[in-house]
């Protein structure tokens, strides 16, 4: 699955040189070069960005070309392939758009360079979750690979993550969200309040969890802890015994017929829910929206133990320097300047700079997506289709309510290989 976006230049090198030289002369003469944005088209800068599918959006590449003149070549892969490519082919990309748990694996190998905070125009406006781990001063820091734990290094050439914010930022956050269980409110027949409800004998043969080991184990951990079976020191970094206990429990539940299916792709989860095969399952926010768009009731149910959260960011390749590095900073500053933020927020994700994103959203959109208020008018997707009717409320409420109750971040464990091996036993059992 490779998705490459590249604007056609349509001009020959010769004509580009000619007009380019003329334009530079003209711009220099008129003093136009001083303002923002720099007109990168004249040097014809291309940035190659690769990463997981969610944030590699064509609309962003098109807008970037229009605003900055920087051509973005985007390649989408799944997260395991992204981790591998980041490490093994460091010259094949300029910008790595990867999740924070991948960053934990990748950054220490030296293929990325940290960003100078003083060059990041909107650094101060970034959501504090990515700097201190706390959304509000009194928030509890979540378990797992929380972004702030891999957000900074000690110095420009350091590969060791810093304990507190420094001047060297590893990644600028792009997209993040809080995941929970999806339910069919018309079929569950009672209130769902805890992760443990997925193991209720009443839902025997009507539940599903996702079969992606690194995420599935987290959902399993949330369930285990909610049932009071175990108390993890860190769900995001289990010991071998904790992994064994969790997997043994899953195998028992599977053999008891608790699960209807294990899904791997977005579409599978949508179909399971829409067809009524499953009434409660692990789910992703856009999948819930997809079920609802078919006119079927589906809710992304907030649970008392909190959310399992994930997030990604943009990192700079180590080989970037000179004009390319400047362009990369320019791109990242543009990314956090508002338009992209508004675009992502309108899709039900969260963006890193809420202050600037607000300027690119209508009051009603801001109220519905971020403040958790009832929609005054119809809420539309970026392509114009109606997502929610007037009066709708976002599941889980406001940004603070959702991101303030993160129990655990997606993560990579030290015992990763052992966990995957045991997970495969669970699927084969």
Partner 1 sequence: MTVALERPAIAAAKPARRRRFSLGAVTPYLQSAPLALILGAFLLLPIIMIVVVSFWDYDFAAMYPDFLATNYSDVLGSWVTWKTYLNTIKFAAIVWALTLFIGFWVAYFLAFHIRTTAMQMVLFLVCTVPFLTSNIIRMISWIPVLGRNGLINSTLVHLGIVPKPIEWLLYSEFAVVLAMVHLYTLFMVTPIFNTLMRIDRSLVEAARDAGASGWQVLWNVIIPLAKPGMAIGTIFVVTLVMADFSTVQVMSGGQSASVALMMKNQMSLLQYPAAAANAVVLLVLVLLMVAGILRIVDIRKEL
Residues that bind partner 1 (CB under 8 A): 78, 80-81, 83-84, 87-88, 105, 109, 205, 208, 211, 213, 254, 259-264, 271-272, 275-277, 416, 420-421, 424-425, 427-429
- Closest CB 400 distance from partner 1, rounded Å: 35
Nearer to partner 1 by Cβ, of 208 and 325: the residue is 208
Nearer to partner 1 by Cβ, of 184 and 394: the residue is 184
3-state secondary structure of 173: strand
CA 52 to chain centre: 9
User: Taken in order 415, 87, 322, 74, is the CA torsion positive or negative?
Assistant: negative
- Closest CB 183 distance from partner 1, rounded Å: 16
Nearer to partner 1 by Cβ, of 88 and 229: the residue is 88
Long-range Cβ contact pairs of 347-350 (< 8 A, separation 24 or more): 347/286, 347/381, 347/382, 348/177, 348/285, 348/286, 348/289, 349/54, 349/175, 349/176, 349/177, 349/285, 350/127, 350/175, 350/176, 350/177, 350/399, 350/403
How far apart CA 133 and CA 312 sit, in angstroms, is: 15
Nearer to partner 1 by Cβ, of 275 and 321: the residue is 275
- Closest CB 206 distance from partner 1, rounded Å: 8
Main-chain dihedrals φ then ψ at residue 299, nearest 5 degrees: -130, 140
Nearer to partner 1 by Cβ, of 170 and 258: the residue is 258
- Closest CB 271 distance from partner 1, rounded Å: 7
Burial 26-59 (b: 16+ CB within 10 A, else e): eeeeeeeeeeeebebbbeebebbbbbbbbbbbee
- Closest CB 364 distance from partner 1, rounded Å: 37
Nearer to partner 1 by Cβ, of 121 and 266: the residue is 266
- Closest CB 419 distance from partner 1, rounded Å: 11
């Amino acid at each position: 699955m490779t998705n490459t976006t590249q604007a056609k230049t349509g001009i020959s090198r010769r004509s580009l040189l000619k007009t380019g030289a003329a334009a530079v002369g003209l711009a220099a003469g008129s003093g136009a070069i001083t303002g923002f944005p720099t007109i990168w088209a004249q040097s014809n800068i291309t940035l190659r960005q690769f990463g997981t599918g969610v944030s590699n959006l064509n609309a962003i590449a098109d807008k970037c070309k229009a605003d900055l003149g920087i051509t973005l070549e985007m390649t989408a892969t799944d997260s395991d392939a992204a981790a591998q490519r980041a490490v093994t082919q460091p010259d094949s990309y300029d910008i790595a758009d990867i999740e924070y748990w991948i960053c934990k694996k990748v950054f220490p190998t030296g293929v990325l360079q940290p960003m100078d905070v003083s060059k990041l125009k909107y650094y101060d406006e970034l959501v504090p979750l990515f700097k201190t781990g706390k959304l509000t001063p009194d928030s509890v820091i979540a378990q797992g690979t929380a972004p702030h734990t891999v957000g900074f290094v000690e110095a420009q050439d350091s590969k060791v993550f810093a304990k507190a914010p420094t001047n060297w930022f590893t990644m600028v956050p792009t997209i993040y969200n809080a995941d929970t269980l999806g339910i069919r409110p018309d079929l569950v027949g009672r209130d769902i309040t805890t992760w443990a409800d997925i193991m209720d004998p009443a839902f025997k043969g009507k539940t599903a969890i996702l079969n992606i080991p690194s995420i599935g184990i987290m959902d399993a951990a949330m369930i285990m802890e909610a049932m009071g079976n175990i108390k993890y020191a860190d769900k995001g970094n289990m010991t071998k015994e904790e992994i064994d206990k969790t997997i043994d429990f899953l195998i028992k539940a599977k053999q008891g017929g608790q699960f209807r299916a294990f899904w791997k792709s977005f579409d599978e989860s949508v179909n399971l829910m829409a067809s009524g095969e499953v009434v409660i399952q692990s789910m992703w926010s856009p999948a819930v929206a997809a079920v609802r768009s078919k006119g079927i009731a589906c809710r992304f149910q907030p649970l008392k133990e909190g959310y399992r959260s994930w997030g990604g960011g943009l990192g700079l390749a180590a080989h970037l320097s000179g004009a390319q590095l400047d362009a990369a900073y320019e791109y990242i500053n543009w990314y956090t300047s508002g338009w992209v933020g508004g675009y992502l927020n309108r899709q039900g994700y969260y963006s890193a700079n809420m202050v600037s994103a607000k300027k690119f959203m209508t009051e009603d959109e801001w109220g519905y997506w971020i403040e958790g208020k009832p929609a005054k008018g119809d809420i539309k997707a970026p392509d114009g289709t109606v997502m929610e009717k007037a009066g709708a409320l976002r599941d889980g409420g406001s940004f603070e309510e959702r991101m303030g109750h993160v129990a655990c971040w997606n993560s990579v464990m030290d015992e990763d290989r052992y966990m995957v091996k045991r997970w495969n036993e669970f699927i084969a059992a």
